[in-house]
Amino acid sequence: MDSARLLDSFCDLVRIESPSRHEAAMATRCADELRDMGFSVRFDNTAAQTGSDTGNLIAYLPGTATGHIVLSAHMDTVEPCAGVEPVVADGVVRSAGDTILGADDKAGVAAIFEGVRSAVEEGWARPDITVLLTTCEELHLLGSSALGSDALPQGAPCYVFDADGAPGTVITGAPCHYALKAVFHGRASHAGVVPEAGISAICMAASAIEAMPLGRLDEATTANIGVIEGGRETNVVPDTCLVAGECRSLYRSRVDAQRDAMTTALENAAARFGGSVDIEWEKSYDAVLYDEDDPLVQAIVRAVEAAGLTPRFHHSGGGADANVLAACGVRPVTLSVGMANFHSLGEYISVADLEDSARLVEALVAEGVRA
């Protein structure tokens, strides 16, 4: 592994502005890099579905031995990401302070590139390698969700480099997620003259929320109401109110029960006040859950140890592309790359974690031949 090349590559990547739905410049740079390593590169036709200015990038490098692995990261970042200027000091990379850094997930991209390039340059035996770089991950996994079911090699392990925590950390669980949108309908009236003639949609929403179990419900299940919008004027009893929220759990039975409890609270509140409610639930993604003795997890452990790292197992409360990639026929697992304070102006990553992530890519390539 070339540490200086890795750091230069990461800094170059974070300077490329690539907010969700505007990943084309990043995609062009990544395609050039992969072609230079010998990959054939194509873009799928998901841009029309996601609203991005490019499709997902799918690259393929034939192996010199048996096996096939998929290495994945996402190309988009949250904002503000215009004019990112990385600053390296005391072994840590940060932004200059008025933007995010973009380690989420350009650290994953840089680690994949350096790890694969090193394996190719060293002439190691390697399996077939598919690299998947997705769009719109930060928008509820839109890019990966739009992938065709035949886009990836069936049954292959898929390593998604997109989590905080020390490299070597394996995300063995990530939740199923439901998104809620509910609109209460009441009856408008003058709040000072005939308030009794009105039915307050905001009161219905408040009653429903009060009746809902919210927050951390158990070690694997959470729920939240994050948006309330309603009313027009202070002197009008509000006739509509939007409530939006979510629930998630590692276990499908629990998240389904929580969804039903929230639905019941919404319906009961509407009935109590004499109004109505339109309820829409959308499943954003399924859960990912592996036992630590799963052969795939144990293969990762061997690679982690071969890279000189310490294996750790973690259950995440958030989703990543791994949550939807199983629908493409691969076995996806999210791996940590060391990003910290992501989605904030205080985001940073240590140079050592970048290097360890690239070493793990090298080890996973080698493990892909043995598997």
List active site positions: 76, 137
Q: Is 364 helix (H, G, I), strand (E, B) or coil?
A: helix
Say if residues 365 and 300 touch (Cβ distance below 8 Å).
no
Give CA–CA dist 326/290, Å, rounded: 12
Which amino acid does the sequence have at 162?
A: D
Cis omega before residue 105 (within 30°)?
Answer: yes
Helix, strand or coil, per DSSP, at residue 216: strand
Q: Which helix (H) or strand (E) holds 320?
A: none
CB proximity list for 261: less than 8 A, separation 6 or greater: 212, 213
The amino acid that residue 366 corresponds to is A
E-only strand ranges, 167-239: 169-174, 176-185, 215-218, 221-230
SS3 277: strand
The DSSP secondary structure of 291-305, one letter per residue, reads: -TTSHHHHHHHHHHH
C-beta of residue 141 within 8 angstroms of C-beta of residue 58: no
Residue 210 CA from chain centroid, whole number: 30
How far is Cα 107 from Cα 285, in angstroms, rounded to an integer? 24
Nearest CA among 273, 282, 275, 307 for reference residue 118: 307
Cα gap 183→201, rounded to integer Å: 9
Does residue 54 contact residue 121 with C-beta atoms inside 8 Å?
no
Sequence-ordered list of residues with C-beta below 8 angstroms from that of 206, at least 6 positions apart, any chain? none
